[in-house]
Amino acid sequence: MEKQFEEKRKNDSLKKLTIVKISSIIEGGNISNCKELILKNKDIEDCEELYQMKNLSKVDLSQNKIKDLRMVELNFNLQQIILQNNLIDNINYINNLNNLVYLNLSNNKIKIIDDVCLLKNLKTLILAYNEIEKVPNLASLKNLETLILKNNSIETFVKPTKPMINLK
């Protein structure tokens, strides 16, 4: 019985990877089928291995030392990005993530959020506790249901040119 279980484990693809108390991802492992990656509070500064993870739908790298979103720019299947409590100062590199529905970048150092307008399928956008001064016209985010921008330095909020009927 134990041998059958061991054989089954060898054949199973990695679907979810949660690593505790390390500061980097193991290189060279076959992580291409991973669908979820959760690495919270690991002092991660960069995670280039994400380029290999083409099937990734959720990434949570909260409470790390990440400075930009370059590592996710080619993960076109991503639906959820959670990178709160990092050192991110811009949201470049996410404009081609057309499947993204959930984005949480709260508690970072983001000032400009214009690129977020390109995320047409976004339903939840959380950018609280950043340094945002201007909120662009978000009318292109037709599916947006939740928008959280509290505790920013907002001076200008561009009124949407179309009603945002899904916003709760």
Which of 82, 87, 84 lies closest to 100, judged by CA?
Answer: 82
Torsion of Cα atoms, 73 then 49 then 38 then 30, to 10°? 120
Please state the pTM of the whole predicted model: 0.83
pLDDT in tens, the chain (168 residues): 455 445 545 555 555 455 443 334 445 556 778 899 998 998 899 887 788 788 999 999 999 999 999 999 999 999 999 999 999 999 999 999 999 999 999 999 999 999 999 999 999 999 999 999 999 999 999 999 999 999 999 999 999 999 999 998
Per-residue buried b or exposed e for 84-119, using 16+ beta carbons within 10 Å of the residue's own CB = bbbebebbeebeebeebbbbbbbbbebeebeebebb
Structural domains present in the chain: 32-168 (3.80.10.10)
Residue 161 gets the label, from left (phi > 0), alpha (psi -120 to 50) or beta, of alpha
